Structure 1
Amino acid sequence: MNLRLWFRLFLNQVFISISFVVVIILIIVGPLAILPLDELLFRTVFRLPFILVLLAFIVASSAVYAVYIAFSLNEPYEQIRAKINWLLLGKYKHSIFNQEVNQRSWYDNDKILSNDINRIRERLVQLSADLQEFTAAPVFVGEDTKEEIIEKERSRIARELHDSVSQQLFAAMMMLSAINETIDGQLSEPIKKQLIKVEEVIGNAQTEMRALLLHLRPVALEDRSLKQGITNLLEELYSKVSLELKWELMETTLDSGIEDHLFRIVQEAVSNTLRHAKANKLEVYLNQTQDSVTLKIVDNGVGFESNQPDKVGSYGLRNMRERVVGLGGTFKIVSIKQQGTIVDISIPV
């Protein structure tokens, strides 16, 4: 119960009751002259002064009345407030919207307001569905869709990187290893340190290249479910990088366009982790409820200051945010320096 509301109702009721009693007393001792004022003031009830009993009755009845009215007004208000909070969270299909507002008093504006909120909710559901349909719809450029053109260009760049730069990095690492084995023990300490540094730089370049190739791989799931696509992606990643991986994925029932966007978000997040986070552990969680699908990606990397707009990796985060907003969802990111980053995504379905 709202104590402030109750107290205001109580004071108002006490004031009205006392005013009414004073008027009645003035009529009794004045025009009607039924009792003289001094006799009325000193009259006793149950061996107590009449005025004291009257005041106690007024206070008690006002308190009870204020409690009843406060409960009658507060309960519908709390239900309406809960509906608004669920709307703000994007949970348009929550079961609370199927509940009627409890109406205990004659004050029916609460029910009217609740119906208005339900109409807003229905409109938001429709807008969310239209937005997802628009986002998933292909955009044609000539005879090909924009997505097909982008995928062809991604595949071409990925092949060139793999056949040229990636192979050259691998060859450089092999040559460096051969040099170290051939002249082991014949080099001075400064040169050994330089060779170790060169080996580290080449290793970092290989990790960066793997992340780029992962980023450029096809976006479409190719008749696979979202769970299968993410699982295959992480299993392939596990075989190529020294990263502890954990995933818990639920089978989802989503439109193919939404699944492709979520798969792309996972690719973007994994690529960001490999390139910038310097993490040794990555976790991916996918869950679907009646009204939303949630995706959570957690790493234990170096983290960053969330309020820095030009931080390293911000381009990838911005892409993920734009994809989520385009689907009518919410994008939250929590990052602590030297502890890691959590990306939390929720999409209404």
Structure 2
Amino acid sequence: MENQFSTTQEQIIGALVYGIIFVVLVTLGLILFFYYSRKKIIEKEVEKVNIKLDHQKKILQTTIKVQEKERNRIAQDLHDAISSKLNVVSLTTNVLLGDESINKEQKEALNHILDITTRTLESARKIAHELMPPILDKFGLKVALEELFDEFTSNTSIKINHHIESLEHLDKNNELHVFRIAQELINNALRHGKANLLQMELKKTQEGFELVFKDNGVGFDINEYKKKSGIGLQNIKSRVAILNGQLFVESSKNKGSIFTINCHSYGY
């Protein structure tokens, strides 16, 4: 009787052990099932986000390509259509000024026309140069940036301290992106930041380059910047995204701003 009871007890215990093992295995199976199901869902979501980001990047690339093409067209029109016609006006005015039969009032009027034509020619040249700097294509980014700094500082109280290293590994498209970023940073610092002292450093890194831009302007609320950016800053963000870079911004009221751009690989 005792042996039978003992056998029954062992069977019950065995059944409980197997039952517990079964429950544990089923629970582990369910956990693994939900884990891998969740993992696949997350992977799909990440894939969707990456596809969306790639699509946005392609839109940015196309938009900026169209912008640069239009800038190039306008610069060419300024040079070919407007500047050439103004040169004709200037030459004709000089010929008329050489006529000894004209009176004093006519000579003053012609000198006034010549003065306006000369200034308009200079303005057209400057605009065309800003739209599509020929020096960038001929001599590269370093020389183009140094000329850009000289244009801003010549005959003004603005001071730009800079250290620019040559980035031989950049292609022409990416050089243009970096040039436009620098151009936009300077314009924003002067126009909106009311700065008169700027500092820019562009240096090579092991995997790419780093650009650091500082100004002594009025600064801005960084929280407002995160919520909403102007067209200039949006343009900078777009070009940094195309360069596969990261943009870090530090600023506060009346304490200037610091923009740091790190690029480790490049876009198109």
Change (3 A) 1:219 1:327: farther
**CA 1:289 to 1:239, structure 2 compared with 1: closer, same or farther past 3 Å?**
same
Q: Which residue of 1 aligns with 2:194?
A: 278
Assess, with a 3 A threshold, how the Cα gap between structure 1 residues 239 and 312 changes in structure 2: closer, same or farther.
Answer: farther
Query: CA shift at 1:309, angstroms?
Result: 4.4
CA distance in structure 2 between the partners assigned to 1:292 and 1:310 by the alignment: 26
Question: 1:232 offset after TM fit, Å?
Answer: 0.7
In structure 2, the partner of 1:203 is none
Quote the offset at 1:261 in angstroms: 0.3
How far apart are residue 151 of structure 1 and its match?
2.1
Could you tell me how far 1:260 is from its partner in structure 2? Answer: 0.8
Q: 1:344 to 1:262 in 2, by over 3 A?
A: same
Between 311-320 and 251-260, the greater mean CA deviation after superposition: 311-320
Partner in structure 1 of residue 241 of structure 2 = 325
Q: Does 1:150 align with 2:61?
A: no
1:248 aligns with 2:169: no
Q: CA deviation at 1:149?
A: 2.7
Shift of 1:281: 0.3
Deviation at 1:323, TM superposition (A): 0.6
Would the aligned equivalents of 1:155 and 1:217 in 2 still touch at CA under 8 Å? no
CA distance in 2, matches of 1:243, 1:311: 30
**Is the CA contact (8 Å cut-off) linking 1:276 and 1:312 kept in structure 2?**
no
Residue 227 of structure 1 and its aligned partner are, at CA, apart by 0.9
Gaps of 5+ in 1: 1-123, 140-144, 161-208
Cα gap change, 1:265 to 1:157, in 2 (>3 Å): farther
Normalized against structure 2, the TM-score is what? 0.52
Runs of 4+ in 1 over 6 A off after TM superposition: 157-160, 310-313
Which residue type is aligned with residue 70 of structure 2?
I
Is 2:75–2:128's contact at 8 Å kept on the other side of the alignment? Answer: no
Does the 8 A contact of 2:218 with 2:256 survive in 1?
yes
Please report how far the alpha carbon of residue 153 of structure 1 lies from its aligned counterpart in structure 2 after TM superposition: 2.4
Counterpart contact for 2:221–2:253, Cα < 8 Å: yes
User: 2 CA distance for matches of 1:214 and 1:299?
Assistant: 27
- 1:230-269 to structure 2, matched below 5 A, reads 230-253=145-168, 254-269=170-185
Alpha-carbon offset, residue 296 of structure 1:
1.0
Cα deviation digits, residues 273-301 of structure 1 (max 9, x gap): 12111112001100011202111111000
Residue 306 of structure 1 corresponds to 222
1:250 and 1:286 in contact (8 A); partners too: yes
- Residue 335 of structure 1 is matched in structure 2 by 251
Question: Which residue of 2 is the match for residue 229 of structure 1?
Answer: 144
In structure 2, relative to structure 1, the CA distance for the partners of 1:232 and 1:308 (3 Å cut) is: same
Query: 1:332·1:344 contact (CA, 8 Å) conserved in 2?
Result: yes
Asked if the contact 1:242/1:280 (under 8 Å) is kept, the reply is yes
TM-score (norm 1): 0.41
- CA 1:338/1:348 → structure 2, altered by over 3 Å: closer, same or farther? same
Q: Structure 1, residues 58-101: CA drift from partner, whole Å, max 9, x if none?
A: xxxxxxxxxxxxxxxxxxxxxxxxxxxxxxxxxxxxxxxxxxxx
Judging changes above 3 Å, is the alpha-carbon distance between structure 1 residues 315 and 240 closer, same or farther for their aligned structure 2 residues?
Answer: farther
Residues in 2 aligned to 1:247 and 1:214: alpha-carbon distance in whole angstroms: 25
1:240 and 1:155 map into 2 onto residues whose CA distance is 27
User: 1 CA distance for matches of 2:195 and 2:67?
Assistant: 34
Task: Assess if the C-alpha contact under 8 Å between 1:279 and 1:301 holds in 2.
Answer: yes
Higher helix proportion (structure 1 or 2): 2
Per the alignment, residue 9 of structure 2 pairs with none
1-structure distance, mates of 2:167, 2:70:
28
CA drift at 1:147: 2.9
Structure showing greater radius of gyration is 1
Residue 225 of structure 1 deviates from its aligned partner by 1.7
Q: Give the total of aligned pairs.
A: 166
Q: Please tell me the root mean square deviation across aligned C-alpha atoms, in Å.
A: 3.8
Identity, % of aligned positions: 30
Show the counterpart of 2:211. 295
Instruction: Pick closer, same or farther for the CA change 1:213–1:283 going to 2, 3 Å.
Output: farther
1:155 CA drift (Å): 6.4
**In the alignment, which residue of structure 2 is the partner of 1:345?**
261
Separation (CA, whole Å) in 1 of partners of 2:247 and 2:215: 17
